[in-house]
Amino acid sequence: MKIAVDVDGVLADIIVTWLDIYNAEHHNSVKKDEVNHWDFFGRLNIDRAEFDRIFELAWKNWRSIPPCETMLSQKVSDLSKLGDVSIVTARSTSSIPSVKAWLSDKMISYNDMIVVDYGPLKSALDFDVFIDDSPLNAKNIAASGKLVLLFDQPWNRDIRGEGIVRISGFSDAIAAITNLSQKKEKT
């Protein structure tokens, strides 16, 4: 079983740090729950370049990025008992050292890290299961016939469909993948 685990919005709660920087610089007070759309930055009257600038700054400040849930190290370790866990992330190459430092600091172990360009490129990768929070990735991965465990976030609440299973954390992921393994054994 090959398992792809996303970083932003699945392991690292990047939006928290992103909003801290955005709110301070733009004199605003947007909260995470209000980020209920993938392209939310358009509604904040900033463009993609400004979103990316704050994103890069947030990762430079990686020590301030909280995990998406508690006991991540143990949960990812439990997940790796079910298959090979790869970190699969779409991002700029400049933030990769920060991501590696964050994962190491949180004691999250993984087989390898695959960095893809932005866009729906993850679906083409050879994995059985993807744990992701992106609506676009979820739709593309499901359309390619693979399983998506959609990590519940305010910006993906309206996404559903065949091949998409909503999870509220890694305990749900472990249950879903155990279920999938049992089904595969039967066929």
Smallest separation, CB 6 to Mg ion (Å): 4
Burial classification of residue 103, based on how many CB atoms lie within 10 Å of its CB (0-12 exposed, 13-18 middle, 19 or more buried): buried
Phi, psi for residue 114 in degrees, rounded to 5: -115, 125
Q: Is 9 in the site for Mg ion (CB under 5 A)?
A: yes
Smallest separation, CB 89 to Mg ion (Å): 8
Smallest separation, CB 148 to Mg ion (Å): 12
The correct pick among 6, 72, 99, 156 for binding Mg ion (CB under 5 A) is: 6
Which x/- pattern over 84-123 shows residues binding Mg ion (rule: CB under 5 A)?
----------------------------------------
127-153 core/surface letters (b: 16 or more CB in 10 A; e: else) = bbbbbbbbbbbbbbbbeeebbbbbbeb
Instruction: Name the residue nearer to Mg ion (CB basis): 106 or 181.
Output: 106
Sign of the C-alpha dihedral, residues 124, 173, 10, 34? positive
DSSP structural state of residue 99: H
Cβ-proximal residue to Mg ion, closest one: 9
Please identify, among the stretches 5-13, 49-57, 64-72, 108-116, the one whose residues bind Mg ion according to the rule CB under 5 A. Answer: 5-13
Phi, psi for residue 109 in degrees, rounded to 5: -100, 150
DSSP structural state of residue 169: S
Smallest separation, CB 186 to Mg ion (Å): 32
Instruction: Name the residue nearer to Mg ion (CB basis): 9 or 135.
Output: 9
Reading the block at residue 162, the tokens are 């065949």
Instruction: Name the residue nearer to Mg ion (CB basis): 8 or 146.
Output: 8
Report the site for Mg ion in 117-156 (rule: CB under 5 A): 133
The edge-to-edge listing of strands for the beta sheet with 164-167 is 112-116, 84-90, 2-5, 129-132, 147-151, 164-167
Smallest separation, CB 155 to Mg ion (Å): 10
Q: Where are the beta strands (DSSP E) in 55-118?
A: 84-90, 112-116
Reading the block at residue 45, the tokens are 């009257």
Smallest separation, CB 134 to Mg ion (Å): 5
Instruction: Name the residue nearer to Mg ion (CB basis): 8 or 130.
Output: 8
- Residues at the site binding Mg ion, with contacts judged by CB under 5 A: 6, 8-9, 133
